[in-house]
Amino acid sequence: MTTHLLVAPPATGKTQACLEHLRAALGERPFAPAWVLVPDKTQADQMRTRLAGTGTVLAAHVATFSDLHLEILEKAGRVLPMAGSVMLHRLLQEVIHGLGQAGMMTYYGGISALPGFLLEIQSRIGELKRALVTPERLAQAAQSGTYPGLVELARIYAAYQSRLQELNWADEEGLSWLAQAALKDDKTLLADLAILIVDGFDSFTPAQLNTLQALAGRAAETWITLPGTPDMQRPAHRRFRPVLEALRTGGETALETLAGPPHLPPTLRHLEAGLFETTLQTAPNGSDLALIEARSPVEEAREALRWIKARIVRDQVPLAGCGVALPELETYRSPLQAAANEFGLPLRFSQGALLAATPAAAALSDLLGLALNDFPRRALLDTIRSPYFDPASASLQREDARLLEIASRYGQVVQGLAQWEETLNLLASQNQDQEAAAEIAGEEESGVPRLPVGAEAARLLAGLRTLAGRLAPPDGELPLKEWVRWLAELLQDLGFYKCLAGEAGLVVTYDRMLMALAGSEALTGPVPVRYAGFLKEWQGLEAAAWVLDDERDAPPAVRVMGLMEARGVRLEALAVLDLAEGAFPAVERADPFLPEDVRQALGMQTRFGQEQAGLFYQVVTRPDRFLLLTRPYLAKGGESWEPSPYWNAVLERLTLKADRIRPEDTRPLNEAASPEELLFWSSRRQSQAGLEPPQALVGPLAARWKHIAETRPILEARLQKEAGGAYDGSLAGINQELGQRYGSRSRWSASRLESYATCPFFFLASSALGLEVIEPPQLGYQANQLGSLLHAVLEHVYQEAPDPTDTVDVLARLPGVAGHIFEQAPQEYHFRPSLLWDVQQEELLKILQKTIQGIADFDPNGGWRPLAFELQFGLGDSPPLVMSMGILLHGLVDRVDVTPQGLLRIIDYKSGSSHLAPQDLINGRRLQLPIYALAAEQALQRGSAVEGFYWTLFQGKVSPLKLSTFECELGTGPQAAFDLAESHVKTIVGLIRQGAFEPVPPQGGCPEYCPAAAWCWHFTPGRS
Ligand code: SF4
């Protein structure tokens, strides 16, 4: 029987015509089967809605080709179990592994275990099958040897196919082959069809064409629709020309068309008629077509959803009648979702997010890796505080992560249960004293987490032990089925599914993955693996999976889909995004697995010449009422981004320009799509006019306005060149309190004063507020611990020597003294030695030798002999150094030497070597030497300090700044240094008392240990 090919431009009523034929056919034979084939689920849903809307009951199967193939096989009694994507992934993995073991994967050997390779191969096998290319044909094509990779692809394909056949399973494409074979063998199959309608396609795979040809003549009527015109002469129709030719070669066909114009609004009708035509006929565009240029994809997504909301509110377009179409979904997923949340628009994506990119997958990955990686600190804490797990089954709470974090810093826990045990046991033993002391002191619970001790530490330890026990995988090799059981129980125990409430798609996805993985051994046979192997398997599956949509009782929403999905649906309002050069049309690239000439020879679709213009033509003719086209005009780097040639092709047909949205532009308030936006736009308008926002707006949005009002002066402060004001370091408003806090009884160290001179805001953050940069625990010593350690060795070795000027003797004693201090160092200075500790001790010993020898060599005449080490002033019982204005100073002088005449020399050891020049004393950043010299004079009462320098331990050198040679505006030598230091101290303390803490980034950049660096907007990167 004749197959009717109904070819007509979009929106001319092809589907309607088919429904009329369906109604007529079923009117004659009400109980005969009728099928309507559509490309995908989205279109199937739309077709069902349309059938329901005809007002009569039309008993037709609305289905995809896959549904039809299954029906044929059921009727023929040849149904095979169909393997899902997870099972096929596993099967392919086994096949590739087997070929690799047999030495048959030399070309792809290096990458064959990667999840990405597996996905590519899985997709190529699907493509080959849809193109009806058998493994034998591919092997033949590979015989020339031109492409070594092709030989291996053919091997994989053959092994995969034979394994599937051995097991008597099928993949989706295989079902089409089997269905065609069944149709060939049994001419009576589906011979009772009253009508077959094939609608919404713009192309067919060879397998689909085969099915249509096999069915031709069985249905009393067959109607196939195609966009275009019977001659397919227009450039916009070029994409459909080969499809029509292929349909006409299969048997007796009648080519029909529809005469009427497309049922499109005026501008879109004009666009449809002229798109890609060479004769230019421009027309004014009406409200049915809009073009928007936005700065970035984020703003583009916002503008598109704002436009959709306007269509819903102003033009009464139903939610389900709105859609967004994009060339590439993932770039726009987050911006669209964020804008939709703000605008109160529900969205439904045609494809879920990549599972591996979801926070739940990241949390699960951390959890499953814990036991394997010996419980790394960060991942363990993240797991306990994760919203995806409930640690109650281990008698822990999420808040315990904070306590454990504090404990981990105390005990320098880096990794491993042993370190947790050691630390928490130690803290548990501190129970009695600390708790009792707290009680005696009448301390109240502050609510701020503090170091857990006693019973609390013991509880945490017990919880960690339980959790670790639960996470410990069974020993040895287990079949995947057993691993899946173990994992399912673990997830149940940790409340994973309960915590996923509200993310139904993830629950469905994980459920199916677990079931499919357990079932995959039905294909491959039992695969006993160790835990690491199972984990790799699981992560490979996660990397390849997409979050499934749980559509049960799904409420209406704006549909977000790819361009291919959009081409067959009809909507009332559609926004097409990302019409930028390189995005659409997509850049066509050769396929590294199946080169172009091979594709041509095998009758497959080629990667070049895909006629994307035809796809654009179809997409822009989807909406019945409104179309929006958008593009980003700036690329990521800030340079301008050219529009797509299709964008230009549309503009050529219109007399109006695209609407370019600049963030700084004043927008009409009636375009605001959310209360936040309304308030923001309104406030900006008013402030530009020097006015407060209207009360009518502020009233209902008082909380939001209060927030904006509070943030305004902060933002204004940020825009000033010079730092200043209450939001930028000035605490002048509390100078009285500061005057008290830093009054005459305060004691100052040189380093605190130096930190103010480095940057006043740095002082405020570190010294006044007591903030510090919290570094995660790490193996080995930290810089400050190393400094203390070296200082201690030098102090003790000189003190132990009967004659500290006898360098030979001091050096001889050094290994013994250092060895003893090194041995105690991890406990004394609270660090966890790394594996390099032994080597580091040798290196440190050399540094110390060099220091002792270097200082001795610096005094060849032997005039100086050590007088004091770690000399205190203003600490303990020792009196402070008193400077002008009664400022009290305290500190610890590393070393004081003396001459026979009683003259003093100050030495200060430094681990670093920066900022040790005379200029650093001149600008106040280094004050130690003169202050220490004055303190030593006062404390020792032996004579004047005539010399002083820093000794750089790692360079083994004297600093450029020396008291004896110092010069400044006030004079030369030590006295000039003393006078200058005194003047700095007076100025700094005065400014601190006045509350002057405006940030001034130091020359050479801010120190990396500045605690304000995380939020200070004056931060200037540089050397520390
Ligand atoms: S980041 Fe720089 S400018 Fe800001 S407080 Fe720290 S040192 Fe000063």
- Residues 761-777 pLDDT 10s: 999 999 999 998 888 88
Confidence grade of residue 433 (pLDDT, cut at 50, 70, 90): low
Sign of CA dihedral 489, 492, 496, 502: positive
| pLDDT tens sequence across 660-706 | 999 888 888 889 999 888 888 887 887 777 677 677 777 777 787 78
pLDDT beyond 90 at 526: no
Sign of CA dihedral 420, 426, 432, 435: negative
Which atom from ligand 1 is nearest to the alpha carbon of 1002? 7
Confidence grade of residue 448 (pLDDT, cut at 50, 70, 90): low
Alpha carbon distance 799, 64 (integer Å):
91
Q: What pLDDT, on a 0 to 100 scale, did the predictor assign at position 769? A: 94
Ligand 1 centroid to Cα of residue 288, in Å, is 54
Percent of the chain having pLDDT more than 90?
Answer: 70
Alpha carbon distance 99, 92 (integer Å):
11
Element housing 227 (H / E): strand 222-227
Confidence grade of residue 439 (pLDDT, cut at 50, 70, 90): very low
Q: What pLDDT, on a 0 to 100 scale, did the predictor assign at position 858? A: 87
Ligand 1 centroid to Cα of residue 928, in Å, is 22
Q: What pLDDT, on a 0 to 100 scale, did the predictor assign at position 52? A: 82
Which atom from ligand 1 is nearest to the alpha carbon of 1001? 3
This prediction's pTM = 0.76
Question: Which of 212-216, 781-785, 970-974 is modeled with the greatest confidence?
Answer: 970-974
What mean pLDDT, rounded, does the chain reach? 91
CA separation (Å) from 483 to 90, 393, 487?
15, 21, 6
Which atom from ligand 1 is nearest to the alpha carbon of 765? 5
* Paired strand residues for 629: 291, 576
Q: Assess whether the C-beta atom of 950 lies below 6 angstroms from ligand 1.
A: no
| pLDDT tens sequence across 929-964 | 999 999 999 998 888 999 999 999 999 999 999 999
pLDDT beyond 70 at 252: yes
Confidence grade of residue 431 (pLDDT, cut at 50, 70, 90): low
Which atom from ligand 1 is nearest to the alpha carbon of 759? 8
Identify whether the C-beta of residue 762 lies closer than 8 Å to the C-beta of residue 1007. yes
Q: What pLDDT, on a 0 to 100 scale, did the predictor assign at position 1023? A: 55
DSSP symbol at 556: P
Which atom from ligand 1 is nearest to the alpha carbon of 1010? 6
Which residue has its alpha carbon closest to ligand 1 atom 3?
1001
pLDDT beyond 70 at 132: yes
- Rounded to a whole number, what is the largest CA-CA distance in the chain? 128
**Which position has the higher pLDDT, 891 or 43?**
891
Q: Assess whether the C-beta atom of 452 lies below 6 angstroms from ligand 1.
A: no
Ligand 1 centroid to Cα of residue 1001, in Å, is 5
Identify whether the C-beta of residue 200 lies closer than 8 Å to the C-beta of residue 577. no
Q: Average of pLDDT values for 88-101?
A: 90
Confidence grade of residue 114 (pLDDT, cut at 50, 70, 90): confident
∠690-694-698 over CA atoms, to 5°? 120
Alpha carbon distance 680, 674 (integer Å):
10
pLDDT beyond 90 at 34: yes
| pLDDT tens sequence across 980-1020 | 999 999 999 999 999 999 999 998 899 988 999 989 999 99
Identify whether the C-beta of residue 846 lies closer than 8 Å to the C-beta of residue 911. no
Pocket test for ligand 1, best of 727, 1019, 1020, 1024 (most atoms within 8 A of CB): 1019
Confidence grade of residue 817 (pLDDT, cut at 50, 70, 90): very high
Q: What pLDDT, on a 0 to 100 scale, did the predictor assign at position 442? A: 39
> Which of 601-615, 701-715, 788-802, 825-839 shows the lowest per-residue confidence on average (mean pLDDT)?
701-715
